[in-house]
Amino acid sequence: MNHEARARAEAWLEYFNDLGISSFCLDRSTAAFSTAPETASAAPESAAHSVRVAPPSGIPDRTQKSTPAPALPVIKSASLFEANERVEGDTLERIRETIGDCKRCKLCEHRNKIVFGAGSAKADLVFVGEGPGHDEDVQGLPFVGRAGKLLTQMIEAMGLHRDDVYIANVVKCRPPQNRAPEPDEIETCSPFLYRQLAVIRPKAVVCLGAIAFQSLTGTKQPISRLRGQWLEFRGIPLMATYHPAYLLRNPNAKGDVWEDLKKVMAHLGMKVPAKR
The structural domains of the chain, with segments of one domain joined by +, span: 92-267
Q: Which pLDDT does position 88 carry in this prediction? A: 77
Q: Could you report the per-residue pLDDT of 81-115, keeping only the tens digit for each?
A: 444 444 679 999 999 999 999 999 999 999 999 99
Q: Which pLDDT does position 33 carry in this prediction? A: 30
How far apart CA 34 and CA 209 sit, in angstroms, is 40
Could you tell me if 26 and 77 are in contact, meaning their C-beta atoms sit under 8 angstroms apart? Answer: no
pTM above 0.75, yes or no: no
Q: Which pLDDT does position 67 carry in this prediction? A: 40
Q: Which class would CATH give 92-267? A: alpha beta
Q: Which pLDDT does position 162 carry in this prediction? A: 97
Query: In the chain, which residues have pLDDT < 50?
Result: 15-16, 19, 23-86
> What distance, in Å, lies between the first and last C-alpha atoms of the chain?
62
Number of Cβ within a 10 Å radius of residue 202: 21
Residue environment code for 167-197, b if the CB has 16+ CB neighbours within 10 A, otherwise e:
bbbbbbbbbeeeeebeeebbbbbbbbbbbbb
Q: Could you report the per-residue pLDDT of 203-241, keeping only the tens digit for each?
A: 999 999 999 999 999 999 999 999 999 999 999 999 999
Q: Which pLDDT does position 63 carry in this prediction? A: 42
Residue 53 exposure: Cα atoms within 13 Å on the Cβ side: 24
Q: Which pLDDT does position 61 carry in this prediction? A: 42
How far apart CA 98 and CA 92 sit, in angstroms, is 10
